[in-house]
Amino acid sequence: MQIASVSKPVAAGDDRETGPRPGQAATPITQRLLTDTGDAANAALSDSAKRRLVIGKSPTPIVPPPESGLETILFADERTRIVSTDQQPWKLICALEIEAPWGSFVGTGWFAGPRTVITAGHCVFDKKQMGGWADKITLTPGRDRERRPFKSFTSERFSGINAWIQRQDPDYDIAAIHLDEDVFPASEVFRVGALPDAELQDYLINVSGYPASPGGGTELYWAKNRIRAVEPRRIYYDVDTSGGQSGGPAYIFPDENSRPLVVGIHAYGVGGTPASMNLRVNSAPRIIPEVVTQIQAWLAGPAD
């Protein structure tokens, strides 16, 4: 199907972490398609980030400690709390405080443009848990508890993909939050990329976000491992996550000099993994060419 943007009507903590098997297949990706928002020199990683983040590919996964048995934590919890949140790339990741008709929730988003934050669709619209569209979202880039190095921003303008808004199809669980002012220059924000299956397979992947526990949605956590499986609209990885991290970036580094490249929007835990795969993995709606095109359209501004 052809995707289209649906914006919240102007007049008008959550963590999905479960979901059905991916649905309608997409056309196989045969070429790389990336957003182009500047060069790597303008978004240099901090030294502490270089020591943590995984880069490139690996034919084997990172071996975890023995399993702890915790739900959505795949083995012993390997997440690391990030405190240098005013540095690249951590500063581009936002804690979301979501106010909705049926209560308050937490989530995660990340800057794909100077005033555009990408997140999971169910962070802005969820009929079953939030009662529809969020009323407003307060986002704080680089938050660390009460420290807000880039202040906070509130928005009531959101856009999602029609297949999510109309029928909550998990493969299209992607949305944008629109701000009224630039926060970071285009040369610093995350790139997004649609990579062919063969190129994406075995990449080491980083996943960052603001879980409800630990931290109450105010502490940034990060974990790493390898992409274990690729489907037309979903990628699967054995990286620890929990509720509140929905909407966070799943990103790779092709090499040590490249800028982070988001290849999926984290949204689902092991409940969203088909039993036939025989893998205990979490997953993200995949960045495919039509999603790159949609994000580029959101960067240009939401539809009226």
Nearest to 290 by CA among 203, 211, 174: 174
- Phi first, then psi, for residue 174 (nearest 5°) are -140, 140
Q: What is the pLDDT of residue 87?
A: 95
Q: Is residue 29 part of a domain?
A: no
Nearest to 231 by CA among 286, 272, 177, 180: 286
Q: Is residue 17 part of a domain?
A: no
Q: What stretch of H or E contains 178? A: strand 175-178
Strand, coil or helix: 241 = coil
Q: What is the pLDDT of residues 137-160, one digit of tens each?
A: 999 999 999 999 999 999 999 999
Q: Is residue 7 part of a domain?
A: no
Separation between Cα atoms, residue 101 and residue 8, nearest integer Å: 14
Residue 59 CB neighbours (<10 A): 7
Nearest to 241 by CA among 120, 158, 97, 124: 120
Q: What is the pLDDT of residue 78?
A: 76
Q: Is residue 158 part of a domain?
A: yes
Q: Residue 60's domain spans which residues?
A: 35-300
Q: Is residue 22 part of a domain?
A: no
Count of domains in the chain? 1
Q: What angle do CA 56, 263, 220 make, to 5 degrees?
A: 85
Which DSSP symbol is given to 198?
H
Q: Is residue 213 part of a domain?
A: yes
Separation between Cα atoms, residue 17 and residue 284, nearest integer Å: 10
Q: Is residue 115 part of a domain?
A: yes
Q: Is residue 15 part of a domain?
A: no
* Stretches in the chain below the pLDDT threshold 70: 1, 10-33, 36-43, 46, 60-77, 303-304
CATH code for the domain of 278: 2.40.10.120
